[in-house]
Structures are given as C-alpha cells and as structure tokens.
Amino acid sequence: MVKYACPENIEDTAGTAAPEGARFSIRRMARLLKVSTSGYYQHVTRRASVVATPRQQRRADLEVKIVDIHRESRGTYGSPRVTAELRARGEVVTKKTVAKIMASAGIEGISPRTFKVKTTVVDPQASFPPDLVERCFDQGRLDAAWFTDIT
C-alpha cells in the first residue's frame, strides 16, 4: 500500500470526514500540499460566491460608462477626458480609477503627434562646396587647415 493512500472509510485521525465524493480528507490533502485548511475553505467560498460586491458592481457600471464615452468620442478620448465627461454626467470618480479601468478593458486614447522642430530643409538640387580636407581635421601640424561653423 502507498504511504499516503487513504482507506476506503475516509476518516481523518481527528474525526473530520471528507466532502461528498472526495477520496481524501481535506486535512490530509492540506497537510500533504503544505497549505492551510482555512485557506482551502476560503477558496471554496470565494469561488462559490456569485453575487458581486458593491465595489465590483460599481466598477462594472463604470466600465460600461467608460466604454460608452470612449465609443462616442470615436476612440480618441483618454483617461483625463473620459474622467471629465464622467464628472460632467454626475459621477464622482478619479482619473486614476478611470485609467485603471481603461487599461484592464484594453482601451486607449489617441495621443496627438509630438511637435518636431524642423530647422533645415535640404534641397536635393543644391550644390555643396567640395570637401578639400576629406573630413580629416587633424592635418598633423598647426595652421594647416582653418574651419568655421556658421551655426
């Protein structure tokens, strides 16, 4: 017989019976898996609860409203604008909460393009002066080549 096998009559040494249809007792499985029995029962009750808590219900309601506002803006609004719109509709909500809900739902706003300074426009038809030193600025002696920079 295997060391940890359980007899057909599933009774632990402390007298607690296993749940209906289980082969091993909860206490024995918890001891072998090195977990607490209270943790197992908390897991069972968490899994069995189907009623949403008020916090979960509010989050679900906010998610529906956020998706609706995002869709109305044709996908352009990010969390600051969605927050402002929710507040205009009478909701009390923070920008961080909206950002978390949007991230969990996979919703993103469209960011404007960053401004890039364009200082020089190179004309492909322009003629450039010849490079007489061939980019070798150290000629090996003093006063061999003089350079300037107009910028």
Please check the confidence at residue 107 and state whether its pLDDT lies above 50: yes
Domain residue ranges in the chain: 1-50, 54-105
For residue range 20-72, what is the model confidence (pLDDT) as tens digits? 556 778 888 888 888 898 988 888 777 666 777 888 889 999 999 999 999 99
3-class state of residue 17 by DSSP: strand
Q: Tell me the HSE value of 28 on the side-chain side, using a 13 A CA sphere.
A: 19
For the segment 68-88, what is each residue's pLDDT rounded down to a tens digit?
999 998 888 988 999 999 999
Q: How far apart are CA 37 and CA 30, in angstroms?
A: 6
- Full-model pTM: 0.46
